[in-house]
Structures are given as C-alpha cells and as structure tokens.
Structure 1
Amino acid sequence: MQQSASNKQSTDKRSASDMLRITGVVLLVVALVLGGAAYQFAFTAGIPLAICFGIVGVAVVVLSVFVARRAEQRERFAAFLASELGADWDSSKLKARKYKDGVPLDVDFEYQKRQPDHDPEWRRQLTEAVRRRMHVDEIKATWKARKPRVRMVGLMTIISEIDKARQVAIDRIRLVLQPLFRNVELAVDVPSWQSEDSLHPNRIELAYGVTTVDGSDLWVRRVEATAGLKLGGRWRAQFDPTKDRGFLEPRPVLPTNLPHPGVKLYDGSDPSLPKPSPKAPCLYYGHDENGKPRGWVIGKKSTMPHMLIIGPTGGGKTTVLRSLILGAVAQGIPVFAADPKMIELTPFYGFPGCYIASTPDEIATMIEAMEALMMERYRAIKANPHIADTLSPVLFILDELLIARQVLKRLHAQRKLRGTPRWFEDIQALAALARSAQINVVIGVQRPDASLFDDGSRDNFRQRLALMRVSPQGSEMLWGPGQRFVGVDLPMVQGRAMASPDGDTPIEMQTFWVADPITASGQDRETIEAFRELGQRNFADYKPPVDVSPFLNDMPDIDPASLPTGGDDIDLGTADDIQDAQSSLANLDTQDVKAEQIAAGDQIMLDEDETEPVEVVDVEEDEFDEDAVRLTVRTASGEEYRSLGRDHYVSRVLFPDAA
C-alpha cells in the first residue's frame, strides 16, 4: 500500500511536469499563430499578444523542466532513504527543500513505527548517513518520536584546509576498516592528532553495531595488521564487546639496540624509579613501550618467585640472563648458574657473588646443593617460623634446560644409576617449593615445549619472557589457553620480547644489551667494571649458604685483541673432520614430540629410516584437516610439504648445532 502511494506520488509529479510542458508548447503555438495573423492580416494587436504568449510559453516550458528535474532529484534521495529505512518505507511522506548540487539540504519525513528511534546509536547512524548523502559538515536533526517524524537540515561550517584534509583521512580510515566489520555499520572519530598540523592520528575511536567478531583475538590482530598496512606504522587495538566500542593507538617505537643503563638502576640516583628495597629487590632487564625500565620483582612477598625465558639462538636470551645476574650482584644477591653449553655464562667465572657450573658433574652438584639448601631452610622455618623473615634471596639460573636434561641423562648412565635421574625431581621440587625458601629459579629454553609444562609447572613461572616471534602453538603453551597470537608478529629484532613484568598481561619490551664480560670494550667495559666494583663491596665479607668449592673458577685472563676477528682466524675443520661428523648423524640426541609442538627452525627426522635430519621451514594448520598440521621442510632436493596428525610423534634434534 505504501509502495503504491509512493509510486502514485512520483507519477503525479511526472504528470504535472508533462502538463506544464504541454501547456507551454500550446502557448508557443498560439504565439506563432498570432504573430502570423498580425503579419498577414495587418492585425496590429496580435503582435503584443504573440509576444506575451511566447514569453509565457517559454517560461512554462522552462518551469516544466525544472519541476521534472526536482522530481528526479527527490526520487533519488527517496531511494537513498529507502535503502536506510527499508523497502516498505513510504516515500510520499518525504518533504524536500533547499536543493544544492541536486541534493536537498532540508528534508522532513516520516518513518516506520517499528524503527528503534529510542536507540541513540540508530539515530546517530541514520543522521551520519544523511550527512554523507548531503555532503555537509553537520546535521541539525529534530526528532518527533510520537508521529514518528524527523526533520534534518544540513549545515556547512567554515573549516580550515587541514580540517578538510583530516576529514578526508577519517573517511579513508573508515573505508579501510569497514570490510573487517562485515555488514555492521562503522563510525570513526579521531579525537587527537600527533601535532597541530599532522594528518597522523594519535588515537582512533571506533563505534559499531552489534557483532561477535570483536571477541576474537585473531580478528583483533587482523585489525592491527590492516591498520599497519594501510595507515602505516604499528598499531595497538583494544575493543570492549559489551559496549561495541574500540580504539586504535600507535605503538611507540622501541629502540633496536638498548645498552644497559648501568648501576644507576640500583643506586637510587634515578628519581623515576622506585627506591631499591632489600625486601622486594627488582632485577631490571629492559624498557617497555613508554621507555620505562621494567624488571622482575623477587622477595618474600613476590607473587612471581620464578622466571621462564624463551629465546632462539641469536634472540638475546644470554643478554637477558646477564642483566639478571648484574642486577642480583648489584643488590648483594648470590647467583648460582648452570651453563650446560659452557659458553654462555662461563664469562662470569670469578665475578663477585657468581658461582658457575658448566660440566655435567658441576651442574648435578649445583642442583643437589640448591635442593639441599631449600630443604635446610624449610627445616629451619619449621623449627622457628620467624626465620622466614630473615632469609636472604638466592638466584638459581638453569640455562638450556633441554640440553641440561640430556647432559644429566648421560651422567646418570655413566654412573650406572637406575631409574629417573634424581636431578629432574630436584628441579621440579625447586619450581614448586623454593619460593618460601627464598630461592628464585630462572629456567632458559630455546622454544616453548609442551614437555616443560606437562606437570603443570608453567603456573610456577609467572614471570615469563619470550624473545622474538613464537608460533601460535608456542604462544598458547607459554601464555595459556586462548592466547595464540601473543608475540607472533613481533619485529625480528634481537632483544625484542613479550614479557610479563607484572605477572599478568604480556607487554612488548626491548631488553637491555649486556656485553660479554671477557670481550667487552669501551662503554660496555665501563658498565661491567662498575658492577664488578659494586659486587666486590657487596660480597666482601659474604659467606655462601652452600659449599661453593666445586664452582670456584677463576675468570680466564684473555686479551680481547688476541681473539679471532674473522673466518681466516678460525680452524674450520678438515675433510676428515667433516666425514666423521656426517658418520655420527645417526647418533644425534633426539626427543619424540607431537607434530603440533614442532616450530619453524627445528630439525627433525621425518622417517624412522632417515639418517639425516631435515629443517622445518614453516608450520601451518592443515586447511583440509583440523586435526593435522602442514609442515614445510627443506631437504636435499628442495622444499617439501608433509601433513601430519597433531598427535603424531616426530623425533626432534635436541642439539641442532651438532647436526
């Protein structure tokens, strides 16, 4: 019925235009007849009449064209409103006035009673749609909900060129992000810009209709990635699904190389940092996005007694451990560190307050000593609970846990012992119980591994740090269920990490660079020496809580100038050495893991009869089978693809360098 009324009104408009046009033509014909009669019959009165009829006829024809054009323009605007209000909207209720460039700037219309005109968001969306259609700066809307009817008047304001350019930028942002919201209307506002004349937003606020996509972490990452691709820079997105609101903010640019600030972090000279507290010492290891030093707070009341550090070769894990060691030494906290690779932490041999274990026997002895110290302190606390307040913290670092396990397995076999090596149980006991004994454990591994968390020990390591990118599977193993995209898009910068200094939400950080204590030079050497002098004062009269005689090693007296500087100075091995290495491939140390635990960069044995490992180039979810993963591996003949069930076990090489 409403549609027919609308069509009838359009027909009436066209009929009026046609009638005017016919009338004008008739008047022009009459003018021609009168003019001809006056000329032929000397009818002098006919000339003025012909002129009058001609002028009126032309005016009526012009008026008919104007009426037809206005009718067409009104129909186009009515069609636009029908697209917003629905096909059943009655366009005959539209009154349009004050046209500019073929678009009415003053409209008055009724809408269906079923429309949610009590909803401010619905009103805002309709008003914004009309504003864009009128090409004006703002709309003055007068709502009469009882009728229901609304009048909208388009207003033009005087704006500067920069404001015009900013409006264009806002419109482009909306066009860029709108497809991500699918069929939901999106409104974009930029409340602040990076400077007075800048076209770069400082904050982008988003308002949208009801949708469920804003609850997906993957979708949020897509919004951030799209903003970075089309708007430039790196963005952080946050959404509140309960209010259908969100915002985007530029991520601050982190430095790619951040030298350690030195002892000023611990001597109280920096007013921006909390004063050092013996009861809650903080081991700083990097800066957050705001340039603020962040670290790991330990002590009796700490809710994060242990720390887990994950970093691939070259990612910066060693420098993070060096930062922790220097922070502990600066505050008089002894450091017991096990270095199964015998190259990462051994430069701290002889450093004040540091005791380094590198051989299998030393590592086993240090683990036993830490477990014995823990039990001794527990017995003392049981006898006198007040002793717990007097215990001084101890930092125990176990780097390269998987390698340490393999080394300890071999030692267990060499000693001809049976059962599971006791050191494995000691490590689990320290992770679970060492907090009250004021023994803070740091575990370092190259990649997330489900075998590290099978016993639920992840929850004991609430202070976590993951260097460089991790896979979605690794992210979920490290940060918990549902956290599949934390750190998967980190820049490939050494020392860049996702960390949880507060123990909850991981944040992006740049960790400090700390040079090797042996080879450091220039400012790096001055930093190391300043910590050494501070450590010598802190540990001048120190008595270790355990027997440290197995770990007393003097720092090698090495002249940095004598170290090799290039490939010509290093013995690369003979052909015989290479042949011997190849013949020993079958004896590589491996670990059976599920296919879903494999990460890019791993070396694996694809088949049981293989004697050489292959490198994993990429790991993806199999798009045809949700219970499988798709591996891209590099073999001697090129890259190959393998689809394996998630629970399928594959032999992974524990020592890739040996392969």
Structure 2
Amino acid sequence: MAPPDTSAGMGDRSPLPSIVATVAGLALIGYAATSLLHAEELRLPLLAALIAVAAPGALLWLWIHRRHRPVRDLTAALEPAMKWPDPKGKIKIKERSDGLPTKIRIAYPATFADNDKPSRDKVRDIVATRTGTTVTATWDPRRRRVDCLLVATPKAGVIVESDTAITDDTVNDTPEQARLRQRTTGVVQAIMGVAATVTDVEFDGDTPCRIEVKYPTTTRDLSANYRSRVTMQIDSKLPGEWRDVWNFQEDRATFELRPPFPTNVRYPLMHKMQPFTIPYAVNEAREIVSWKLGSKNPHALIVGPTGSGKTVLIRNLVVAARVLGIPVVLCDPKMTEYLDFENLEGVTVLTDPTHIAAAITKTHDEMMRRYFDIRSRRARKGDFGKILFILDEFYVFKEAIAEIWAGMKAANKDLKGREHPCMSLWRRLAVLARTAQIHLVLGIQRPDAEFLTGLARDSFRMRISLDKTTSELARMMWGDSRVGADLPNIQGRAITTGDHGPEHVQVLRLMTPEDAGDFDDQDATIWDQLVARMTRQAEAHANADPLEFLGYLRTAEHHAVPAVDRTPLPTLQEAVDAANAAPAPDTDNEEEAGLYDLDVDDQIRLPGRDEFVTVLDLHFGQGYEDEDDEEALGDEWVEITYRDTDGGEDSEILPGDTALMRRVSSLV
C-alpha cells in the first residue's frame, strides 16, 4: 500500500474512502481468483491475511495524513502571501512534542519582501492562527527561510477561522459578543495595520466597553494627531464614545468606553470654594472643573455660537467670583443677557458701547496706577485685590464702537486713528493686566484673527469652546483640527483647558429669574441661596469699593451721566521713568523663577548669560506636535522681549518649563 500524498495539492480530503475502496477491491480480486482456481478452501485464509495486512496499513495511512495536516493547512494559508511558484515541500516540521509541532521551517521565494515588517508580521500571525499557538519567528534572509518556534496552549492544534488565535475568553461569548469581537479586531487592524493585535475585549452585556491592543513598535504613536485620528475612527466604527490611554513603553493602547456624560448638572451649593478658584463645569467623572486665577492662565477666552450655553458659563464665573469676594465688571453689548446681575453689589453691568469703551479705558488706567505703585515701591504685586473684567459678544461691541468712532471722526477732523483708542488699550490689558491682578474674560462666537491679534490671543490661555468645532476653529483654539469635532450638540457641552490638555466638560446649570420658562423651583432655590451668599460677601466689605476707579460708570446706565474731570494717569513709560528716578534699593538678592512667574520690568539672567536684562514683554505660545520638527520646544514656550545693559532690545524664545534667576530688591 503506497503512502498517502501529503502535499498541498491533496487538500484536506480524508483517506478513509480510498482505504475502504482498496480493501474492497483486493477482497473481490481474491474472491474471483479462488473461484477461477476452484480453490474455495483458500478463500477464508486469503481474506484473513488480507485483513491482517490492510488494517495496519490503513491505520498507518491515517496517521501519516493527520501528522501532515498542519503542513497542508499552513501551505494553503501562506500561499497567497508567499506566492510560491511551486508550494510543494516549502514547509517542513522540524520538531514535535507529544505529536504537536514545536518548530516549523518555511522556505520563501526571492520575491517575498522579508525586509518589510508588516509582511513578516502577517506570516507570523497566520502561523499563530492556524496552529493555535504563540509564535516566535526567526528570519534568515541569506537562506530565505524562517524558523517558527511554537509554544503550545490548551487550544493548540485547533484551527481558528479568524484573524487572531483562539482564546478562552471567546468560549462563552454570546452570538452578538462574538460578532462584535470579530468586528473589533477588523476595525482595529483596518485603522492601526494588520500587525496590530486585539489582545482583549471586555463587554458590558453585549456592548464592548474596553479594548486592549498590542501594536508593533513605531514612532507614529508619539504624534497627538495620530492618536486622535485612531480614537476618532474607533468612535465612528464601534458603538459608544471612546477615550484612549497609550503605553509607549510597551507598545500598547487601551480604548475605554466613556461613562455616560452628565447633561444637566445644577450649581453645586455644597462645593467648598478655594481662594481665587472659580468652578464652572464638571468632567465626565463628575468632578468639579475650575479656573484658577493665576499667572499661567490669567485670562479666559470663551467661544460658542448662539444657544451653546456661553451666557450660562459666564454667569457661573460672575457668581463664583462674587462669592469669593472678587469684583466684576460685566460688559454686555447685547443688553439683555445679564439683567438679574444689575442690582448685585460688587458687579457693574454695562451695555452701552460708549460706557464699555470708557470702562476699558478706566480699567487700563487702574492697571497703570497699580504698575506705578509697584515700580515706585509704594506697593508689592500681591497688595492689590483681584478684578474680573468680562466682555461678552466682542464682535457686537467692536462693530458698534467702530461705528461710533467713525461718527466721532466725521464730527471732529482732529481725531486720527483707524480704530477707537479703547481697542489698543484692550490689547494692552490682555498682555499686561495679570501683574496688576486684573483678569479678563472674552466671550466671542468665533476668535478670528481679524478681531484678536496673535499677541493678545496668546494671553488668553484659559480657553473654553462650546458646541462642535470646525477644523479651523479647533486649530486656532487647540492647535489640533480634530479637537471638539465629535462634541455632541448638547447645550453646555464644551472643550476646556485641562491639566493634561483639552478635556470634555459639561457647564454647570445656573438659571436666573430672567430665564422664565426654564427657571424651575429648584433653580429658584439655588439662585436665592447664591444671591444671599454674594450679599453677605458684599456686606462684609461694605467699607471698601473695589470698583471705585470706574467712577460715574458704576451708575451710568441708571442715572444721568455727570460731567467728569478725567485727568489722565501716567503712561507706562512715564511710570517707568518716575520709578527709575527713585532711590535704588540698598541690597539685591537673586531667586529662581519660572517663566510664568515673570512680569514686565523684572530683571532676569537668561540661561548662559552673566548680565541681567530687563523684561519688556512676554509672549506665550504653544509648541509643535510635528514629531519630525527637531526645533519643537515642547507643549508650551515663552518669547521674552528684553532690554540689555547697553540699552539694546532683543528677544529670546524658551521652553515653558525653563527656570532662570530673577533679581529681587529689598529696601532697608
């Protein structure tokens, strides 16, 4: 009996029919021969001898067929990838353990791209899938062969008709879980490449809630754009909203289903306020998100179209500021958004564009007065109380004040300038006001460069974007065209500046009586308690008027505006000149300071230099995410414009985490 053909051409047909047919044929031949020879007495012994020979031969034939089955299966599976001219004999089993292959040698043709990692990974994945084992592949390009070491598992030898080796987790899958597990693998490999492996899928019922992925070592995962693109595509292909966690050291990514995001969170009256920290939203973990007024994020930029929740967000800022005892200048050129704040102590609401322009001018004057006191040693930086200046609907105000300025120039030919003087003062406030403890909030529907110069916009480092963003808006706000593109159309849902980059938040619900039909009994209870707390705060400081510098503007929109003698305060240069004429301090000390601790007029020693220079301006920016940009400075950088000891001016850009020495003067 000839041994069976174990080549790939035989396929996976069972040899049993052939064995039965052969035995039956031999039996018929023996029967016919004994009949012709009239030797019927030999018929039974001949049949017994035939069975004695055929039975072991048949068993041996079946054993050889089964023993070579892995070769046949691997040959059929690998032939599309290898493209052998003749696949016969290209796969050999070199070692076995308990009858199962532990080492397989595969010869590949010269046309196979053995220098291409995805192609090599595909071969290893096919071997692992077909054998149900863990595979370690060693490639020998010189001999054009690969040795695969197989580590047997409890499922070894089972053929798995899927893209990954069988795991025990799949045994108890429901049909829907099995379908989604297979789809998850297909989606991940379509996005991250065929070499990426889904190592685990966890389910909540029949819904995937956690996906573990192992991928080949690459530098693409260091790009925020790449990671964002992967997560966004998984969001589109799989049910639910997903977030990602990347382990660069182990080349692993975990995708988790976001918990249900709160959509209507009322103002938390029990929240314990922290100094100079203004709560305004909750994140997906239902933790309070706050804006800490400080040097790193001195001013806030709020972007959102009509109906997105921008007004409710600004209400949160006003209420929290007043509960903390911070006075608020609230400018509303749309006139009707903040009527319930007009009678609150410590809040000045302005709606007329000329009054808003005057408030900008007076706030700038107050900033200059504080600068003068600091520079002339009459006060220190921390001696002044904080002020929150809010300008909502900047576009509406700018258009209105432009019309007023055009009318003023038409009536008075001596007036010069392309724009109303308050606009340049506003930009100057944005750059310099933080040292004077004045914090700005700008509300706008779209932060076009036409309305905000780059220098001023960089000062608004606290940013909140409501509603879904366009790619252009996302690039301008976050430096990434994908941030906020998947934000749902829910009022109050936003992207905000977080400790580790942009994060999703839901703005706290804060309704006032002017909201009419939306103002329910619970809203009324919250509002009444907040008003009581703000009133107590105002009564505790009744002897001081922190907004006194506004003069007639505090009551301008409720009473006739009196004639005011407005003697201008010193300009910044005049203040500097006067301070330079003051006696110099007797002692000088040095201290280490971060870039975000610096202020205009600080004397610092730049890295690698011995002499001190004077800070003239600070320009804050965000770094580049292009992994190929060797000059990238990191996530944040600061450009320092300074004057050296010879009177010359220059600038230098430093990474945001740079520390340098600052001169500290003390009087004796």
TM-score (norm 2): 0.67
Matched residue, 1:174: 185
Matched residue, 2:550: 547
**Partner amino acid for 2:341?**
F
Shift of 1:53: 2.8
**Partner amino acid for 2:525?**
E
**Partner amino acid for 2:530?**
F
For 2:18 and 2:199, locate their aligned partners in 1 and report how far apart those are by CA, in whole Å: 50
Q: Is 1:418 matched up with 2:416?
A: yes
Matched residue, 1:568: none
Partner SS, residue 431 of structure 2: helix
Matched residue, 1:78: 75
> Per-residue CA shift, 1:337-382, capped at 9, x if unaligned?
1111101123311112100111122112211111111111111111
Matched residue, 2:329: 336
Matched residue, 1:473: 472
Shift of 1:235: 0.5
How big is the alpha-carbon RMSD for the aligned residues of Structure 1 and Structure 2? 4.3
> Per-residue CA shift, 1:122-159, capped at 9, x if unaligned?
9997665434224x4x5598999999563443523995
Q: 1:294 aligns with which of 289, 292, 295?
A: 289
Give the direction of change, closer, same or farther, for the CA distance of 1:310–1:410 in structure 2 (3 Å limit): same
Matched residue, 2:216: 209
Greater Cα offset, 525-534 or 59-68: 59-68
Matched residue, 1:223: 230
For 1:527 and 1:12, locate their aligned partners in 2 and report how far apart those are by CA, in whole Å: 81
Structure 1 contact 106–152 (Cα < 8 Å) conserved: no
Structure 2 contact 91–105 (Cα < 8 Å) conserved: no
Equivalences for residues 104-503 of structure 1 within 5 A = 105-111=100-106, 129-134=126-131, 136=132, 139=134, 150-156=149-155, 163-165=172-174, 169-182=180-193, 184-190=194-200, 193=202, 198-209=205-216, 214=221, 220-239=227-246, 244-262=251-269, 264-265=270-271, 268=272, 276-277=274-275, 281-299=276-294, 302-384=295-377, 386-415=379-408, 416=411, 417-419=415-417, 420-480=419-479, 483-502=480-499
Give the direction of change, closer, same or farther, for the CA distance of 1:133–1:222 in structure 2 (3 Å limit): same
> Per-residue CA shift, 1:438-461, capped at 9, x if unaligned?
110001101231223434222100
TM-score (norm 1): 0.68
Structure 1 contact 350–553 (Cα < 8 Å) conserved: no
For 2:199 and 2:466, locate their aligned partners in 1 and report how far apart those are by CA, in whole Å: 35
Give the direction of change, closer, same or farther, for the CA distance of 1:243–1:323 in structure 2 (3 Å limit): same
Structure 1 contact 31–52 (Cα < 8 Å) conserved: no
Give the direction of change, closer, same or farther, for the CA distance of 1:510–1:60 in structure 2 (3 Å limit): same
For 1:200 and 1:19, locate their aligned partners in 2 and report how far apart those are by CA, in whole Å: 49
For 1:347 and 1:149, locate their aligned partners in 2 and report how far apart those are by CA, in whole Å: 76
Partner SS, residue 486 of structure 1: coil
Matched residue, 1:529: 528
Structure 2 contact 265–507 (Cα < 8 Å) conserved: yes
Give the direction of change, closer, same or farther, for the CA distance of 1:259–1:147 in structure 2 (3 Å limit): closer
For 1:340 and 1:11, locate their aligned partners in 2 and report how far apart those are by CA, in whole Å: 83
For 1:65 and 1:331, locate their aligned partners in 2 and report how far apart those are by CA, in whole Å: 87
> Per-residue CA shift, 1:564-599, capped at 9, x if unaligned?
xxxxxxxxxxxxxxxxxxxxxxxxxxxxxxxxxxxx
**Partner amino acid for 2:550?**
D
Partner SS, residue 501 of structure 2: coil
**Partner amino acid for 2:529?**
A
Structure 1 residue runs without a partner (length 5+): 1-6, 269-274, 557-659
**Partner amino acid for 2:552?**
S
> Per-residue CA shift, 1:162-213, capped at 9, x if unaligned?
754567654431122211234x41111237x466xx4544432212235676
> Per-residue CA shift, 1:98-123, capped at 9, x if unaligned?
99xxxx95353235699999x99999
**Partner amino acid for 2:322?**
V
Shift of 1:92: 5.0
For 1:160 and 1:409, locate their aligned partners in 2 and report how far apart those are by CA, in whole Å: 68
Give the direction of change, closer, same or farther, for the CA distance of 1:42–1:133 in structure 2 (3 Å limit): closer
Give the direction of change, closer, same or farther, for the CA distance of 1:462–1:151 in structure 2 (3 Å limit): closer
For 2:463 and 2:251, locate their aligned partners in 1 and report how far apart those are by CA, in whole Å: 32
**Partner amino acid for 1:515?**
M
Structure 1 contact 286–511 (Cα < 8 Å) conserved: yes
For 1:471 and 1:245, locate their aligned partners in 2 and report how far apart those are by CA, in whole Å: 31
Q: Is 1:509 matched up with 2:508?
A: no
Partner SS, residue 413 of structure 1: helix
Shift of 1:431: 0.3
Structure 1 contact 310–466 (Cα < 8 Å) conserved: yes
Give the direction of change, closer, same or farther, for the CA distance of 1:72–1:287 in structure 2 (3 Å limit): closer
Identity %: 27
Greater Cα offset, 48-57 or 281-290: 48-57
For 1:78 and 1:34, locate their aligned partners in 2 and report how far apart those are by CA, in whole Å: 44
For 1:410 and 1:499, locate their aligned partners in 2 and report how far apart those are by CA, in whole Å: 34
**Partner amino acid for 2:416?**
R
For 1:122 and 1:485, locate their aligned partners in 2 and report how far apart those are by CA, in whole Å: 31
> Per-residue CA shift, 1:304-356, capped at 9, x if unaligned?
11000001000000001100000010011100011111011233111121001
Partner SS, residue 549 of structure 2: coil
Partner SS, residue 93 of structure 1: strand
For 1:10 and 1:368, locate their aligned partners in 2 and report how far apart those are by CA, in whole Å: 88
Partner SS, residue 476 of structure 1: helix
Shift of 1:59: 6.9
Partner SS, residue 252 of structure 1: coil
Give the direction of change, closer, same or farther, for the CA distance of 1:11–1:371 in structure 2 (3 Å limit): closer
Partner SS, residue 263 of structure 2: coil
For 2:340 and 2:348, locate their aligned partners in 1 and report how far apart those are by CA, in whole Å: 11
**Partner amino acid for 2:191?**
L
Shift of 1:91: 2.9
Shift of 1:21: 9.8
Shift of 1:54: 6.0
For 2:60 and 2:31, locate their aligned partners in 1 and report how far apart those are by CA, in whole Å: 20
Shift of 1:256: 1.7
**Partner amino acid for 1:237?**
D
> Per-residue CA shift, 1:501-553, capped at 9, x if unaligned?
44x61110000121134455522222222222222222221313413432327
For 1:32 and 1:536, locate their aligned partners in 2 and report how far apart those are by CA, in whole Å: 117
Shift of 1:492: 0.3
